[in-house]
Structure formats: C-alpha cells, structure tokens
Chain A
C-alpha cells in the first residue's frame, strides 16, 4: 500500500477518523498499532512475524540488560541482541550475496563450486526497523534510556506505519516519550500535515516518477545512449532519488502529524551542500546520525589519530553502503563516499572553508561528486557503472531523448533548483501560515488536483522500499 495509491486514500481516512473518534488514549494507541499491522500485512502478512519477533526479542533483552547488575552480563546480552538483529537482517538480505561472493572467491582459486539461488523474500523495511531495535538496546545498555515497560508502546515505536517501511530511522528516546502523551486534535497541525503530505506527493508522483521514466532506459542499456543522454539520465536519477526519498519522508512526517506524532527531519536541501561532509549532514539525516552514533563513534571516531579517523570514516560509509543493498555496487558507493569524506577532512584541515565567493563552485563540485556516486548506486552492476562513467567522460554516439523527455527533465530540474533556492532563504511553512484560510485552501486543492493530473501512469514504489 503506497502512500500515493488509491488503497491508501481509503485506508488513511478510516484510520484517521476512528483514531480521533476514540476517547481513550490507550485505545487510540491500540488502534494505531492495529492499523500499522494492517498496513504492513497488506504486502505480506507472514512477514509481520519477523518484525514482531525482532521487536519482542529486543524488548525482552533490553529489560534484562536494565535489570542486570553485572556489566559482563549486560555486555553479553547486548552482543546477543545485536547478533540476533543483524543475523536476521543478514539472513533475509545478504544470504545470496554472501554465498555468491564466497563461491566466486573459491572459483577464482580453481574450485568449481555452485550454489542454488535461495528465493528469500526480503521483509519490507527490515533495514530500518533493525537499526531502530539496535539503537533501542544500545541506548538502554548505555543508560541513556529506560527500558520500556509496555510492549504495546514499544511495538508502536517499531511498527508505526508512516516510518515503518522507509524511515526516517526514529530514535527510541524521541518516539517513545510521545506515545504516552495524551493527543489532542489540532486543526492547525492537521493542515500542516496535509501541506507536508502534498509537498511529498509532488516530489514523488510528479517529479520522481517522471524522472524514473527517463533514467531507467539508460541505466538498463547504457551502451545504446550518447554521452548527452547518459548525463541527462544521471541528472534525472539524481533528481529522482532525492524527490523519491524526501517525498516519502515528507509524506510520512505529514501523516504522523495527523495522528499527533512528530518524526525527525530526514533531509535539508542536500544538493545545496558545499562539501561532502555538509552533504551527509543534509542527506538521510536519520541514517547518517545513526551511523555516527552507533558505528563511527564506537569504532573510535576521531579520537585515535588522523589515519584511524580516515579508516573509521571509510569503514562506516562502507557499511552504510552495504546497509543499502546486497551488491558490490553499494559497497563501492559506500567506499566512494567514505573516501570523499576522508579526502574532505584532509583538505579542509589545510584550507579555509565556509562562505565566500567560491561557494557556488563548491556547491557545484559537491553536486558533481554526488552525481558520480549515484551512478554506482543505481547501475545494475559494476560493469554497467564503469560503462556509464566512461560514456559520461568520453564523447560517444548513441540514442538521445526527444523533446518531451527533455522538456519534462528541464521542468523537474528547475522545480528542484527553485525549491532549493527559495527554501535556502525563506521558511516556506512559516510564510504560508500568514495566508488567509480560503486562499490557502484553494491553493492546496488546486495543487492536489494538478498533482493528480500530472501523475504518470507507471508510478512505482519508493526506491528505499527495497532497502
């Protein structure tokens, strides 16, 4: 059930109306949990057991950790919890990848190994909720959070349907304290949520899905296309992935507001970043901060010298890349970004940074580096990625897009650029609060209708659903 699909437009009003019709807070939370089960179960009800097992196991472990006076026991429990969580993730996501890699390695040495391809269904959102359960147990272990006593509240933290499938990766401390708080219906908050949802809908359905139709043929057969077409496809994918993922997040945030919950911000104009470190402060913020807090800092962060810092950066990003998908291209993408972060750290310590006349050039250069990274991220194999990069930088003949695609791409790029520019200087949400209600309502209705008209026929799932 996608946020921008007809079933969701039936599911949401029912959930919303019943939720606010219930007078007791506990019943509301229970209803929301039930709705989240229905939402997730609409894909594959059997996979609910995986989420529930993961949630229940870590819930119990966290309580044991808190109750245990022995640091050694606490540490053992933490290790068991992390191993089980990562084990489940590894089984569902990496079994075939690990077997492929092992077999290929053996075959390099002259063995003739083969293995059957296991048909393992990847539970939706497993990477996201695994990170959430790990952060919960670690926070309890570190004493930053009290273990939750109510399993239903904890289950809602994991299962809350707006963030369940593709984030943002919610921190337990941030969400769990919202659950017992009595919710009051607030029209202004609903309006704000509707605005966020609408913004997400524009990004996803109007921009990302159209960009996908342009980028996909090139990434499917890069050798058929000219250098110009390949550049255009790379820019289209760069636009698509931003609008797709941030669009999902905006919708998730908007829906959460409708139920009186606040989810963390996940994007902050990432393509306006003036260096790669800045980019990672603006892109998928909930993941980058998670990686920082639960991987980079435990690895030692920047506390053990320059070389160790570079190693930690590269290792963190490499694992972050692997988190995205079970393929070498994701590992290389992570390595590429880790290397860029290390390089930036190296050069920034030797040069002046910040505002200045060269800022647009720095932004453009960062953008270009990010675009090259997306080639690794999107290509179907490393061979394809290399071919695309080769065609980008070596003039080549081939097919080119027609006027319709070029017009659509230009319009989408302009919209994203304008959005970045305006939002850099103006808080749009605050500005819109001053508009009279009839103007605001008409504007939102017109935009919603236009969005519907401009939605392509082949609108697909969100990119991050596969992770």
Chain B
C-alpha cells in the first residue's frame, strides 16, 4: 500500500494536538491548586509539622523570611528567657519561611490557626521593601500558594511587579511550571522512594563561610540591591493589605504582635534613603496607634562585621541579635504581660538607638490584653 500525503490528516493532528495540550495545561493549573501543602509549599508544610509537634504551651513565634532564618536563634532566645526567669511555659519557635513577606505570613497564619495553634506572641519581620506597592516576592507566591482566584484578584499587583509572564505560565503552562511538584506528587501517590545522592550538603568550609564576615565591597553591592527594591517606593498593595488582615486576626485572638525590622548592614540601610525611611516609620507608627502593635527597629543594631552578606548575619551576629531581641523586647513584654499591663504602642521616633518598651494608651476600641 502506498502512502499518500493527506493534508487533512496533518491539519487534524496539529490542531488536535494543540487543543489537547492547551486543555491539559489549564487542567494542570486547576489541579495544582488542590495539591497537598507538602507538594506545593513544602517549606510551610515543614513549619506547620514542627509547630504542631511543639508542647502544649504558650508559643512565641517568629514569622519572617530567610533574614529571620539567618538572624534568629530560637535556642538563644529561650536561653535568655531562662536567664531572666520568664521562660516558664513558653516555647520559642522560628517559623520563618524563605522568600516570605506579609502575603506568605498571612497564609501561614491561616494555616496555623486552622490547625488550632494560637501563639501568645508573634514577632513579625518587616522591612521597608516588603511594604512596597511593587511586590518583590510575587514570583514566589505565584508558584507556592496562589490559586486561580488569587491570581485574578492580584492582577494589578502582578503587572506592577513585572510577573505577568509568570502568572500566565502558572495558569497556562502549569505542567512545565509545576513539574517538580507533579513529579513529587506522582512519586508520593505511587509510594516510590528513591534515595538521591548528596555530594553537596553543608561542609566545614561552607559552615566556616557562614561564620565569616563579608568584605566591605560585598556589603556595598547590597546597597544597589536595596535601592532597586525601594525604587518608586509607595506603601500599599498586597503586602500592606495582608499585614493588616494578619494583625487583625491575631488581635482578635489576643496575641501580642511585635513588628521587627531586622538588622541590615550599614550600606544597605543607607540605601533606603530618608523619604523611604520616613514613610516606613510613619506607617509603623500608624499601625501601632491603630492596632496596638509594637514596633522595634533593629536595622542599625549590628555592626557590619556581623554580616556575611548585605542582609544575612554571621553565626555570631545571629546569636548577638537573638540575645538582644530577647533581652530588650521579649523578656520585658512577658514581664509586662505578667504585671497586667494591658496596652502598648511604640512610636518609632521614641526608639532611636535602643528599643525600650513605652506604653501608651491606644484608642479604647483597640485596647486588649498583652502577651
């Protein structure tokens, strides 16, 4: 039998193939929205598992990004609480998640509360750039937690952040974008376990690198990054809204909310510039006045030799900051809570160098019991 080229066959094949691929991509975008947490957002799943395993005690949680991951040692904080004799009944846990901002923290809060976890105190990492209208972490959100409605509702922010192509990819090229997730999901479903070679892992050299301060040129390069992050700075958008919603949720539960600006190197800090700093501090002040949150600015509290990158602390810097934070914020707050002080609000202008807790009376409707 001789083969006769048939244009209709070619057309049907190509068009049908295109249609099937398109349909499968859209379906995959819907499917991934229903993936288990450990598949789509394993970092959060790991944090939730760890928090669930904590003893039934009053919990002090750190919510933040890898900056908190690098700067906060739960062990060091706990040790200070013991030294101050206020540790009784408290468990400190660093619930940081890499590439986190208030949008992720709100999502994390939802999951924590849904799991029945009610922290006594949350310390939330807030730097000026995370409040920017131009969301810097949207590329992560699109991959890790945003579902179809989230993408649709945040389209203006997605456009402003320059991540429209990624949003399109997560919804219309989902098979490729979420290939790792689908691989893990399939292996999980099939109960297949393969041990992977780990020729990497953190070795002594890398550990030493973590402890080593950065060269001044490296820190100077960080200034460029900070400037880029606050270009056209305007507080608002997804993050600002998420932060307020999160504060409101914790407030209703009576959780003490402490907003912390973690330490950054001096070139990084200087790169924010006065207008950005002024807007940021004013906003923190307003939050304190409105919702009774505490705010502590630790950006300037570590010397540059405590940084291994423009914003990641060295091992020494981590211990130093954790102890400072525990001594100057957590212990006094716990002590104040024990003494029954009911209200708090700190003006950033009142804490220029060393944060002290100044109690002011917030509006009556926002008054609630402290941690």
Residue numbers in B under 8 Å from A6 (CB-CB): 165, 169, 173, 176
**What sequence of 0s and 1s flags, for each residue 186-223 of chain A, a beta carbon within 8 Å of any chain B beta carbon?**
11111100100000000000000000000001000000
CB nearest to A225 among chain B residues: B199
Check if A188 sits within 8 Å of B21, measured CB to CB: no
CB nearest to A190 among chain B residues: B14
Query: Which residue in B3, B8, B169 is a CB contact (below 8 Å) of A434?
Result: B3
Stretch binding the partner chain, chosen from B69-77, B179-187, B285-293, B358-366: B179-187
Check if B180 sits within 8 Å of A457, measured CB to CB: yes
B11 at the interface (CB under 8 A from A): yes
Query: Which residue in A9, A399, A407, A437 is a CB contact (below 8 Å) of B9?
Result: A437
Residue numbers in A under 8 Å from B9 (CB-CB): 187-188, 437
Given known pairs A445-B20, A449-B24, A453-B183, the reply for A405 and B10 (CB within 8 Å) is no
**What sequence of 0s and 1s flags, for each residue 2-30 of chain B, a beta carbon within 8 Å of any chain A beta carbon?**
01011111111111110011001000000
Check if B7 sits within 8 Å of A188, measured CB to CB: yes
Residue numbers in A under 8 Å from B17 (CB-CB): 194, 440-442, 444-445, 448
Cα distance A188–B13 in the bound complex, in angstroms? 9
Stretch binding the partner chain, chosen from B60-68, B189-197, B264-272: B189-197
Check if B199 sits within 8 Å of A186, measured CB to CB: no
Q: Nearest-CB distance from A202 to chain B (Å)?
A: 14
Check if A437 sits within 8 Å of B179, measured CB to CB: no
- How many contacts A-B (CB < 8 Å)? 95
A108 at the interface (CB under 8 A from B): no
Check if A453 sits within 8 Å of B175, measured CB to CB: yes
Check if B20 sits within 8 Å of A441, measured CB to CB: yes
Check if B176 sits within 8 Å of A441, measured CB to CB: no
Residue numbers in A under 8 Å from B195 (CB-CB): 402-404
Cα distance A60–B9 in the bound complex, in angstroms? 46
Check if B10 sits within 8 Å of A187, measured CB to CB: yes
Check if A433 sits within 8 Å of B3, measured CB to CB: yes
Query: Which residue in A404, A405, A438, A455 is a CB contact (below 8 Å) of B12?
Result: A438
Cα distance A147–B153 in the bound complex, in angstroms? 61
CB nearest to B175 among chain A residues: A452
Check if B14 sits within 8 Å of A187, measured CB to CB: yes
Cα distance A191–B10 in the bound complex, in angstroms? 6
Q: Nearest-CB distance from A439 to chain B (Å)?
A: 9
A308 at the interface (CB under 8 A from B): no
Cα distance A460–B186 in the bound complex, in angstroms? 24
Q: Is the interface of B mostly helix, strand, loop or mixed?
A: helix
Check if A445 sits within 8 Å of B21, measured CB to CB: yes
A120 at the interface (CB under 8 A from B): no
Check if A453 sits within 8 Å of B197, measured CB to CB: no
Check if A453 sits within 8 Å of B14, measured CB to CB: no
Q: Nearest-CB distance from A52 to chain B (Å)?
A: 30
Check if B16 sits within 8 Å of A402, measured CB to CB: no
Residue numbers in B under 8 Å from A31 (CB-CB): none
Check if B20 sits within 8 Å of A402, measured CB to CB: no
Residue numbers in A under 8 Å from B8 (CB-CB): 187, 437
Cα distance A370–B19 in the bound complex, in angstroms? 43
Query: Which residue in A9, A401, A434, A445 is a CB contact (below 8 Å) of B197?
Result: A401
Q: Nearest-CB distance from B17 to chain A (Å)?
A: 4
Within 8 A of A (CB), among B154-194: 165, 169, 173, 175-176, 179-180, 182-183, 186, 194
Complex A-B: 12 CB contacts under 8 Å = A6-B169, A186-B10, A190-B10, A407-B194, A437-B10, A441-B14, A441-B17, A442-B20, A449-B175, A452-B176, A452-B179, A453-B183
Known: A191-B13, A437-B9, A453-B182. 6 other contacts (CB 8 A): A6-B173, A6-B176, A399-B197, A402-B194, A452-B176, A455-B179
- By a beta-carbon cutoff of 8 Å, the part of chain A in contact with chain B is 6, 9, 186-191, 194, 217, 224, 399, 401-405, 407, 430, 433-434, 437-438, 440-442, 444-445, 448-449, 452-455, 457
Which 3 residue pairs spanning A and B have beta carbons closest together? A187-B10, A404-B194, A441-B16
